[in-house]
Structure 1
Amino acid sequence: MTPRVHAFGDDALGDLDSVGVAAAVAAGDISAREAAEAAIARAERVNPLLNAIQRPDYERALAALAAEPAGALAGVPTFVKDNTDVAGLPSDQGSLAVRARPAPAHAPFTEQLLSTGLTVLGKSTMPEFGFNATTEYATLPPTRNPWHTGYSAGASSGGSAALVASGVVPIAHANDGGGSIRIPAAACGLVGLKPTRDRVAAAAEAASLPIDIISNGVLTRTVRDTAHFLAATQAYRPAPDLRPLGLVEGPSDRRLRIGLILDSVTGIPTDEDTRKAVLATADLLGSLGHDVMEVGLPVDHRFMEDFKHYWALLAFSTQHFGRQVMGPDFDKTLTDPLTRGLARRFVRQAWRTPMAITGLKRSTRAYRAAFDDVDLIVSPTLGYTTPELGYLSPAVEPFSLMFHRLVQYAAFTPLNNASGGPAISLPLGRSSADMPVGIHFSADHGDEQTLLEIAYELEAAQPFARIQD
């Protein structure tokens, strides 16, 4: 097995990010079709090794380019995660239990994404219903990490992360219900911003959730790609009731007070490689003139218990009401052991539901209060470094062992989902196995600007590692 896999080469895409590709298309240096054809050729070269594409849609994508694309990222190829509707393509939700039919229309966020001018080449892989933090399956081949194909690509936007990290496309759709933008960004050495709740169009299922924990976004290799994409979404649909956000183009001169958190609410210490990476980032921030001080956790262990229960509630709802939500062909006997185990866990503790929902709703107040004395909070993105494939597989038995591993891994990210606050993972660290380590920054509601400004500053001070080097 080849440890490192990438598709960068001397073609229309080169090593350009999405802003660079859009500029080349606008200048006439390349055409949108040439960019799409280069991405398709790259996908065909590396996807047999990575297994990151759920459903290619190349012919339709190329045919659509007969009309000149318009938008801030016009002509840039991309993929959409397989839980978000693209008209004419099924949304399989990463599950053998779903026999989806082609979607009759775009999801609201798909419309927002397309308004930027991106060219959708197909659907990217994800674990079943997005419940796992690795893009692995009980009976199917996993999605592999381009930095080392023996390791997890993270999840649940793992397919998109693998495609961006390997250079197939410079930007890809992701969404985040418990860390699913930030976790694969950390695993694959990418920039992953989870916006504030309601900053972009809500996921289709949000209206039926007691608490909307899902945020849509993208995975990129550069901070400016994330900034340009987010600004373009706001030009299309300004967020109601949030601080307006235009294009953030670089760092700020403002020096920040930054709270430092090293360990999660689980009470299990962060592993040594991750801790070293966070402390090194804290030192870098200090050298840049920022004031970094350790702060307490905004919530205690009860938060994680409430979030685990909500996780189980979502799995129970999927397992038992999937036919109503996903169509009459849904077959609950084909869901994977993680979905079934979570559903059983919910049944045993169903009585906790009102308390868990109340606790998660209260987390917004606790989260926002954490920024009374600091501008940002820096922490690990993950509780330990990216594991090898199999460690978090839904096939691990017993369920209690697999779920324990999963909770420890994804312990830092869920608070932003429950509270609605924005956060970004930046690829600032390396593990002793030479794998990316993500560093996590959180901000108060509506303050994506400060997150992007610090991201620009850190990217300039410590350029992100490139897989092709």
Structure 2
Amino acid sequence: MKDLASLARLDGIAQAELCARGEVSAEELFEACLARIDALNPLLRAVVTVNREPPRAVKPGPFSGVPFLVKDATPWQGLRWSMGSRLFAKNVAPTQTPYGRRLEAAGLVCVGKSALSEFGLLGSTETLLEGVTHNPWDLSRSATGSSGGSAVAVAAGLVPLAHANDGGGSTRIPASACGLFGFKPSRERTVMASFATSDFGDLTSDHCISRSVRDSALFLSVTEDPTAAKPVGFVREPIRRKLRIATWTRTMMGEEPEPSVRRAYDETVALLTELGHHVEPIAPPAVDGPALRDAFFLVAGAAIAGVVETMDRMRGVPVQTEELEPFTWELVEKVQAFGADALPWSRATFAKAVKVYDEATRAYDVVLTPTLATEPWRIGHLSPVLKREELLRRTARSVGYTPIQNIVGCPAMSVPLCFPEGGLPIGMHFAAARGEEALLLGLAYQLEEARPWKDRWAPYSIPALFS
């Protein structure tokens, strides 16, 4: 069996190839993964449930034998499904989702569940149920969220890739903070990953966080809905044509990025120009940022209010104050105070924003912005025990580029192009029109080739500590 660091350095496809050649077995990949989790997870707290049941009949798919994690927002048959909430601390998923069946058929082996903020509501992975997930680049910094556990596990070399989902940047933002590739497919591109639907669920796309573009591209090909328009398949090559790229730096809330982020952005513009693309600064789409923020959290609050009502009926006992975090309760109370017009108003607000965004970007192949307006914040900055208004204000300062793509339903990605000396990674954000995943992945391959990041390991990672 390969040593811990050697296997940790390999992406999912490389591990599957080792397994296919008989150089390592699925059981050995699984045991090595558990050893890596045992070595670093007590420090990082990325994994909240560990599946120690060895794989029995691994399917002979393209990822055959490869260990991975499922974000605890999403059910996986037989494993605890807490959604980061004390309300569901002992909940176990009874059945597999269509998405899960696709991943099993691809040969992936689930070694556990990764941490998230409660119900994926906040951009920092610290909960009253599970505690704090630490960024392996700097333990005092947040892994961001909500897919912080998945990002940390990949950045630390615990697994080569991890499932994530994204309702407003929850895949792309942690990928940026941890120096990884984070991709969000178009709405309805993949098969169903949940049992229920809601307006908040309609904003959410399931995919993965990975070290390599090819892992992400293959993952998309095995989860793609065959009935979706313009099938993507497995994108394997860099894009060959020159792109027209629109770009801006001001967030939806009217904020400009911190100087370190601006420097990283300028370097990215220079790289794209060097690669032959036409990069054109334009005015940001004139969306109503405060209204979009309010609509987004009303939709989230409505989804949680529905969960509370369902639990009240099922148990015959109301959900108790201590079963949900303070921020979650405030979202529920806000949507209840708004009344019956909350969802209709939010949908109308979203529709206006979609029209404005489409009109501003339709002449371009790709849109470029930073992923975050700030560097990753310190732990506690977005603690769920803080007041709602303060949390929304702090979130709005940093998270002002990514939610619009969820509202529009188009694909987007954070690419780890910038690793400032002595600082944390800074991702750059790219988006395309709905259905244009192949274009974005082709660009990602090209950027990966031009500025390789596969050997950029965090200080608190298996390769950095055990080589």
Specify if TM > 0.5: yes
**1:282 equivalent in alignment to 2:266:** no
How far the C-alpha of 1:339 sits from its partner, in A, is: 0.5
**1:380 shift after superposition:** 1.2
Determine if the alignment matches structure 1 residue 177 to structure 2 residue 167: yes
Give the match for residue 116 of structure 1: 106
In the alignment of these two chains, the number of paired residues is: 454
- Match of residue 394, structure 2, among 392, 405, 416: 405
1:162 to 132, 152, 166: 152
Task: Between 307-316 and 36-45, report the one with greater CA deviation.
Answer: 307-316
**2: distance between equivalents of 1:347 and 1:169?**
41
Give the match for residue 407 of structure 2.
418
Partner of 2:334: 345
Q: Which string of whole-angstrom CA distances, capped at 9 and with x for unpartnered residues, describes residues 156-197 of structure 1? A: 111111111100110111011111111111111111101001
- The residue identity in structure 1 corresponding to 2:252 is V
1:26 positional shift? 0.6
Match of 1:38 among 15, 32, 35: 32
Aligned with residue 260 of structure 2, among 270, 273, 287: 273
Indicate whether 1:56 and 2:50 are aligned.
yes
Percent of pairs with identical residues: 35
Residue 64 of structure 2 corresponds to: 74
Contact 1:72–1:117 (Cα < 8 Å) also in 2: yes
Q: Which residue of 2 aligns with 1:248?
A: 235
Corresponding position of 2:322: 333
Deviation for aligned residue 1:312: 3.3
Where 1:201 maps in the other structure, the secondary structure is coil
Unaligned runs of 5+ in 1: 1-7
The 1:407/1:345 distance shift into structure 2, 3 A limit, reads farther
Cα contact 1:52–1:124 (8 A) shared by 2: yes
Q: Who is 1:466 aligned against?
A: 457
Instruction: Decide which moves more: 300-309 or 182-191.
Output: 300-309
Q: What is the rounded CA distance, in whole Å, between the counterparts of 2:333 and 2:401 in structure 1?
A: 25
* CA shift digits 1:354-408 (9 cap, x unpaired): 2221221344444433442110001111121101111111123x43212210222
Equivalent-residue separation in structure 2 for 1:71 and 1:327 (angstroms): 45
- Mapped partners of 1:282, 1:306: distance in 2: 32
Q: Check the 8 A contact 2:143/2:151 in 1, yes or no.
A: yes
Contact between 2:156 and 2:457, CA under 8 Å: does it hold in 1?
no
Q: Distance in 2 between matches of 1:362 and 1:106?
A: 37
Per-residue CA shift, 1:124-182, capped at 9, x if unaligned?
11111110111012475201111111111111111111111100110111011111111
Determine the structure 2 residue equivalent to 1:3. none
SS of 1:97's equivalent?
A: helix
- Are positions 1:102 and 2:92 aligned together? yes
Q: CA deviation at 1:115?
A: 2.1
Determine if the alignment matches structure 1 residue 393 to structure 2 residue 393.
no
> Could you tell me which of 18, 27, 33 is aligned with 1:24?
18
**What is the root-mean-square deviation in Å for CA atoms of aligned residues?**
2.3
Structure 1 contact 173–217 (Cα < 8 Å) conserved = yes
Please list every run of 5 or more consecutive structure 2 residues that lacks an aligned counterpart in the other structure: none
Give distance in 1, aligned partners of 2:293 and 2:394: 14
Maintained 8 Å contact 2:8/2:160: no
Q: Where does 1:81-96 land on structure 2 (aligned, <5 Å)?
A: 81-96=71-86
**Which deviates further from its counterpart, 412-421 or 11-20?**
11-20
TM-score (structure 2 length as normaliser): 0.91
The answer to whether the 8 Å contact 1:138/1:393 transfers is no
